[in-house]
Amino acid sequence: MSFEVKSQSYGKSSVRLLQLNRSAGEHTVTELSVRVLLDGDFDTAYTDGDNRAVVPTDTMKNTVYALAHGLEAAPIEAFAAKLARHFTKSYEQVERAEVEIDQKLWARLSPARGDVTINAFRALGPEVWTTRATSRHGHLELRSGLVGLEILKTEHSGFSDFPRDDYTTLLDTDDRLLGTSLRASWRYSREPSDPLDSRLAAQAALLETFAQHESRSVQHTLYEMAIATLKVVSQIDEITLAMPNQHRIIADLAPFGIDNSIGNDRVIFVSTSEPYGDISATVRRLRDDD
């Protein structure tokens, strides 16, 4: 009887760092969590306990810190690409290196008085910027995105004309709240010359479309958001959006003699976290040869 290692990878996760740049009068803060995974010729480490090809995960951690000090850690796309290429170029046994980076966002506090520079910050969470760079045989695949972007619209959203059966209680509506915690991931057809500009353009397209779209469903708006992003950023050839429908249900205040119907100027909703509608889709750009 014989056996083989069908697949394997290993690496270092949750390598956290904060890079402080004080070279200018206004400080900049970049806070990251980095994950490095390596695939390659490591089978004998599993089968024979032979560690001669195994790059220590502690070395991966130290490499993240050293390269973050030696170059700008932002934009994270460039940093992830640098790390991924480093491991495939430095170790011949590494066939594939994947680097994922999450960036926590910080914003500068406004000056308290006058024109005094205030080097103090506040977190912009829960939104986190993400990227994943994969280096394999000299080819780099780059994905970027975001998670936890909480958005809400209070008009131009409805849901009607859906199938009904004995278990359907939901009513048709052309006036409801639409709220979600957006998760987005897009794939670049080529490495962008200005990753931050591409990211900000993609995010602006997503938010503007969400706000302005006459929504017939979450699916309807999700698709239009994806299309708008592909039109605005030509380097993106595919985008995946996940938009959980975070329900806000009109509170029943009739027992208290209060009219809490949707047509009033003031309406009280009950915010719920579970259960929620789970909606996602991947939209890609069709090329001439598709």
At residue 262, the pLDDT reads: 85
Task: Say whether pTM exceeds 0.95.
Answer: no
The CATH homologous superfamily for domain 138-290 is Urate Oxidase; (3.10.270.10)
Characterise 149 by phi-psi region: left (phi > 0), alpha (psi -120 to 50), beta (else).
Answer: beta
Instruction: For residues 222 and 230, give the distance between their C-alpha atoms in angstroms, rounded to a whole number.
Output: 13
At residue 125, the pLDDT reads: 86
In the chain, CATH 3.10.270.10 covers: 1-135, 138-290
At residue 71, the pLDDT reads: 75
At residue 290, the pLDDT reads: 58
Please write the tens of the pLDDT for every residue from 180-190: 999 999 999 99
What's 1-135's CATH class?
alpha beta
Given a cut of 50, the residues of the chain with pLDDT beneath it are none
As annotated, the active-site residues are: 12, 57, 247
At residue 194, the pLDDT reads: 94
